[in-house]
C-alpha cells in the first residue's frame, strides 16, 4: 500500500523540475528571443557574431568596428563618425559712410555708387568633420539589438506609390550589419508617429517595416550617446598602487580598504622599499585621498585625431563687425605660439589588469587658450579632458609630491 502523500509529492516534484527547466531555458536562451510579443523579427543573430556596422544617413556616416588587441581576445568597439555641415558665409560689411560728408554735399560719383546693386552674398560652404572614438559599454547593447533587429510593424511588400510616400522609392540612407555569417542590409525611409518610428525596407525580402528610430539615432549621435568617457578599464576603487611623477618629483601611493565602498583611503609609500613609510602606516593621507578623488572625476570629453591640434577644438571667436562709418579696426596681434607641457604621468597597479599608464599634457597659447589632453593605452588615442578638473589636479601636485 502506498503511503499517503507520496503520489502528490511525486507530482509536485515533476512540476518543479519542469519549472526549473523552463526557467533555465528562458535564462540561457539567446537575447534575440527576448522581445515583446507584438515585435516582428526582421532578422535574428548573435551580438558576438557582429564584426562591423555601417550607417549612411542624411545626418552622418557611421562606421562601428569590433576590433581586437593582440594581447586580448575581447573585442572593443571603435567608431568613425563623419558629418557634413553647412557653414554660413559671413555677412558682407556695410558700406562705409564718410563722417564729414552730408547728403547734400555728395558728389555725383558717390551718388552713382549708392545706386549700384548690392554685391551678391557669398554662398554657404560645406565642411566635413570626422571623429573617431572608443565606444562605451552601452555599445554592446546596441550591437545586440542590431544582431537581432525587430520592428513594431511589418507592412509586407508594398507598391511603388506607397514606397514613394514612405520615402523608400529613393531611400534616405542605408544600414549594413556585417557578421561572421554574412551581411544584412536595410534601406532607410522617412519617419512616422512623431518621429518615433522609421520606415525601412529589407531588399532581400522586399518587406517594409516600422522600426524604433533610436536604433538609428543612437548611431547617428554616437559621439554624445555612445562615447566612452572612461580613461581606464577599471574603476578607481580597484587601484592598488600608483606612482605619480611630475617633472623630477615622483612618489608612490597605495589605496587601503578598497573592499569598503566609499571608505577607502590613500597612504604614501617609501620609495626605497615599496612598503608603507613609518609615518604613514595605517594613517590616511588626506591630501592624497582628496587628490585621487579629483583624479577619478577626470573624463574624456573628445577624442583627437592623430594629427589634430587640441587648440582647434576650442570654439572660434569672431571679432564684431565695425559699425557703419567707423574707422577700421586695428589688425589684431598675432597669437602667442602654442606650448605643450607634460603635467604628470601615472603608473597603475591593479589586480587582474596589465600595467596601465596615464599621461596628462597641458597645451596652451596664452591664458585664454588652454586645453588639457590625456593619453592612456585604453583610450588608444589622445583625448581632451575637462579643463577645470585638470587645473585642480595640476594645482595640487606640488603639495602631493612635496615639491
Write down the pLDDT at residue 214: 93
The average pLDDT across 307-331 equals 69
From the list 395, 299, 382, 390, the residue with the least C-alpha distance to 131 is 382
Write down the pLDDT at residue 313: 87
C-alpha to C-alpha distance for 375 and 340, rounded to whole angstroms: 14
C-alpha to C-alpha distance for 282 and 265, rounded to whole angstroms: 10
The pLDDT tens digits of the residues spanning 30-51 come to: 444 344 556 899 999 999 999 9
The average pLDDT across 127-134 equals 92
C-alpha to C-alpha distance for 172 and 84, rounded to whole angstroms: 15
Cβ neighbours of residue 120 closer than 8 Å, sequence gap 6 or more: none
| Mean of the per-residue pLDDT values of the chain | 83
The average pLDDT across 153-161 equals 95
- pLDDT of residue 281 exceeding 70, the answer is no
Mean pLDDT is lowest, of 99-108, 122-131, 265-274, for 99-108
**Could you tell me the CA-to-CA distances from 107 to 96, 97, 116 in Å, in that order?**
15, 13, 15
Q: How many degrees, rounded to 5, is the angle at CA 331 between CA 327 and CA 333? A: 145
From the list 377, 62, 358, 46, the residue with the least C-alpha distance to 223 is 62
Mean pLDDT is lowest, of 172-176, 192-196, 241-245, for 192-196
Give the percent of the chain with pLDDT over 70: 74
From the list 356, 354, 351, the residue with the least C-alpha distance to 238 is 351
- pLDDT of residue 179 exceeding 70, the answer is yes
**Could you tell me the CA-to-CA distances from 4 to 8, 13, 14, 321 in Å, in that order?**
9, 16, 18, 99
The average pLDDT across 161-165 equals 95
Give the percent of the chain with pLDDT over 90: 61
Write down the pLDDT at residue 159: 95
Q: Using only C-alpha atoms, what is the Rg of the chain?
A: 31
- pLDDT of residue 217 exceeding 50, the answer is yes
Q: Structure pTM?
A: 0.76
The pLDDT tens digits of the residues spanning 291-315 come to: 999 999 999 999 998 889 999 988 8
C-alpha to C-alpha distance for 234 and 154, rounded to whole angstroms: 43
- pLDDT of residue 324 exceeding 60, the answer is no
C-alpha to C-alpha distance for 189 and 308, rounded to whole angstroms: 35
Write down the pLDDT at residue 194: 84
Amino acid at each position: 500500500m502506498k503511503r499517503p502523500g507520496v503520489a502528490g509529492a511525486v507530482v509536485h516534484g515533476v512540476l518543479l523540475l519542469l519549472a526549473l527547466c523552463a526557467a533555465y531555458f528562458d535564462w540561457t536562451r539567446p537575447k534575440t528571443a527576448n522581445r515583446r510579443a507584438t515585435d516582428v523579427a526582421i532578422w535574428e543573430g548573435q551580438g558576438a557574431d557582429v564584426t562591423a556596422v555601417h550607417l549612411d544617413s542624411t545626418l552622418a556616416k557611421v562606421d562601428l568596428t569590433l576590433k581586437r588587441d593582440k594581447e586580448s581576445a575581447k573585442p572593443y568597439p571603435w567608431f568613425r563618425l563623419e558629418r557634413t555641415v553647412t557653414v554660413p558665409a559671413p555677412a558682407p560689411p556695410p558700406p562705409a559712410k564718410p563722417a564729414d560728408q552730408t547728403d547734400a554735399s555728395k558728389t555725383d560719383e558717390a551718388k552713382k555708387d549708392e545706386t549700384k546693386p548690392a554685391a551678391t552674398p557669398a554662398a554657404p560652404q560645406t565642411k566635413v568633420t570626422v571623429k573617431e572614438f572608443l565606444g562605451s559599454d552601452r555599445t554592446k547593447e546596441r550591437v545586440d539589438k542590431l544582431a537581432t533587429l525587430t520592428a513594431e510593424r511589418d507592412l509586407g511588400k508594398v507598391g511603388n506609390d506607397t514606397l514613394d510616400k514612405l520615402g523608400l522609392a529613393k531611400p534616405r540612407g542605408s544600414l549594413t550589419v556585417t557578421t561572421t555569417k554574412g551581411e544584412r542590409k536595410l534601406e532607410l525611409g522617412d519617419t512616422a508617429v512623431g518621429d518615433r518610428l522609421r520606415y525601412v525596407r529589407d531588399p532581400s525580402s522586399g518587406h517594409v517595416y516600422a522600426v524604433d528610430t533610436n536604433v538609428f539615432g543612437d548611431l547617428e549621435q554616437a559621439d554624445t550617446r555612445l562615447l566612452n568617457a572612461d580613461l581606464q578599464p577599471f574603476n578607481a576603487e580597484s587601484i592598488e598602487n600608483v606612482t605619480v611623477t611630475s617633472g623630477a618629483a615622483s612618489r608612490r601611493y597605495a589605496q587601503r580598504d578598497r573592499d569598503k565602498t566609499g571608505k577607502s583611503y590613500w597612504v604614501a609609500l617609501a620609495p626605497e622599499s615599496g612598503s608603507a613609510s613609518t609615518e604613514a602606516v595605517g594613517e590616511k593621507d588626506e591630501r592624497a585621498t582628496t587628490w585621487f578623488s579629483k583624479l577619478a572625476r577626470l573624463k574624456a570629453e573628445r577624442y583627437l585625431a592623430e594629427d589634430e591640434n587640441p587648440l582647434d577644438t576650442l570654439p572660434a571667436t569672431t571679432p564684431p563687425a565695425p559699425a557703419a562709418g567707423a574707422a577700421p579696426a586695428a589688425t589684431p596681434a598675432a597669437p602667442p605660439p602654442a606650448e605643450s607641457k607634460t603635467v604628470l604621468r601615472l603608473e597603475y597597479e591593479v589586480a587582474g589588469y596589465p600595467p596601465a599608464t596615464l599621461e596628462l599634457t597641458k597645451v596652451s597659447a596664452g591664458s585664454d587658450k588652454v586645453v588639457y589632453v590625456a593619453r592612456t593605452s585604453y583610450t588608444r588615442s589622445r583625448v581632451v579632458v575637462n579643463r577645470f578638473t585638470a587645473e585642480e589636479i595640476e594645482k595640487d601636485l606640488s603639495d602631493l609630491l612635496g615639491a
